[in-house]
């Protein structure tokens, strides 16, 4: 089962899980005991809380490739730029662009609410090896639902920002390591996306966005599939 499939399956259960999972997991190296429900609530709340921020984040992928996330709260907009493509979600449209060769962008109706796009919106980015915050939330939830999961927690700093990292080994998902900053920004990920190994590491965070991050690529063809108004 792919990471994306696992995420889609567990997201619907995440709210119930966060309220009802009460089992404890002993951390192998430190001997500390952590409630899986507490872990999911804390990291999921951080990632979810990042929807309330305006920020730009630059990341390094394996193979010397780069990706970025731009998010604005006023107005509510999110844009992911990755090798070969770009995805933006605004109140007007969900736009997926292919930038290999002549750019082509497909416009569809935006998700509702616009500030909570589902993992399905970002599936194209994940095909290119970019793990997304909603996917990480789902993977953590899936691991928490596994009573035999081994979850190790450490603290670190990424791009000058304190972060919490978890190393997860679970029968429900392939092993992965993920870090989340104190602000709730995804800091790093090492694991698999759609069955392919991937590494993502935060390089920089800015508390502002460039308006161009939400524009269509220059010269892009447009396939507008939204119903006529």
For the ranges 4-18, 98-112, 141-155, 171-185, the lowest mean pLDDT is seen at 4-18
| CA atoms of 31 and 163, how far apart (whole Å) | 20
CA distance 89 to 85: 14
The average pLDDT across 23-29 equals: 34
Instruction: Report pLDDT digits (tens) over 157-210.
Output: 999 999 999 998 888 889 999 999 999 999 999 998 878 888 999 999 999 999
pLDDT for 125 equals 78
Which tens digit of pLDDT belongs to each residue from 29-88? 333 434 555 776 688 778 888 878 999 999 999 888 899 999 998 888 889 999 999 999
Cα separation, 88 vs 78, whole angstroms: 6
CA distance 139 to 40: 10
Residue 216 is predicted with a pLDDT of 94
The CA distances from residue 60 to 67, 203, 214, in Å, are 6, 7, 20
Q: Measure the CA–CA gap between 137 and 141, rounded to whole angstroms.
A: 6
Contacts of 41 (CB under 8 A, 6+ apart): 18
Higher pLDDT: 204 or 26? It is 204
Q: Which residue has the higher pLDDT, 113 or 184?
A: 184
Res 26 pLDDT > 60: no
Q: What is the CA radius of gyration of the chain?
A: 18
Whether CATH 2.50.20.10 fits 3-224: yes
pLDDT at 2: 40
Look over the chain and give the mean of its residue pLDDT values, rounded to a whole number.
79
Instruction: Determine if the pTM surpasses 0.85.
Output: no
What does the block give as tokens for 38? 């507490």
Structure tokens at 72: 């604005």
C-alpha angle 222-212-72 in degrees, rounded to nearest 5: 105
Tell me the domain boundaries of the chain: 3-224
pLDDT digits (tens, 9 = 90+) for 118-154: 556 677 777 777 888 888 888 887 877 788 888 888 9
Reported as type and span, the H/E element at residue 124 is helix 123-127
Three-class DSSP category at 207 = coil
Q: How far apart are CA 143 and CA 186, in angstroms?
A: 18
Residue 51 buriedness (CB in 10 A; 0-12 / 13-18 / 19+):
middle
pLDDT score for 208? 94
């Amino acid at each position: 089962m792919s990471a994306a499939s696992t995420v889609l399956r567990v997201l619907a259960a995440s709210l119930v899980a966060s309220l009802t999972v009460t089992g404890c997991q002993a951390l192998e190296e430190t001997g500390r005991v952590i409630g899986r429900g507490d872990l999911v609530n804390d990291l999921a709340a951080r990632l979810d809380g990042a929807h309330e921020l305006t920020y730009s984040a630059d990341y390094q992928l394996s193979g010397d490739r780069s990706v970025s996330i731009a998010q604005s709260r006023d107005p509510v907009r999110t844009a992911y730029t990755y090798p070969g493509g770009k995805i933006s979600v605004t109140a007007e449209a969900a736009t997926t662009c292919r930038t290999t060769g002549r750019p082509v962008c497909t416009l569809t109706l935006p998700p509702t609410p616009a500030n909570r796009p589902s993992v399905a919106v970002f599936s194209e980015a994940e095909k290119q090896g970019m793990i997304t915050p909603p996917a990480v939330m789902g993977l953590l939830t899936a691991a928490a639902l596994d009573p035999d999961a081994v979850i190790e927690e450490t603290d670190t700093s990424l791009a000058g920002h304190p972060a919490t990292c978890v190393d997860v080994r679970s029968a429900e998902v392939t092993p992965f390591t993920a870090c989340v900053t104190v602000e709730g920004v995804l800091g790093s990920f090492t694991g698999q996306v759609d069955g392919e190994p991937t590494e993502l590491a935060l390089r920089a965070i800015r508390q502002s966005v460039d308006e161009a991050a939400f524009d269509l690529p220059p010269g892009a063809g447009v396939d507008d599939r939204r119903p006529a108004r």
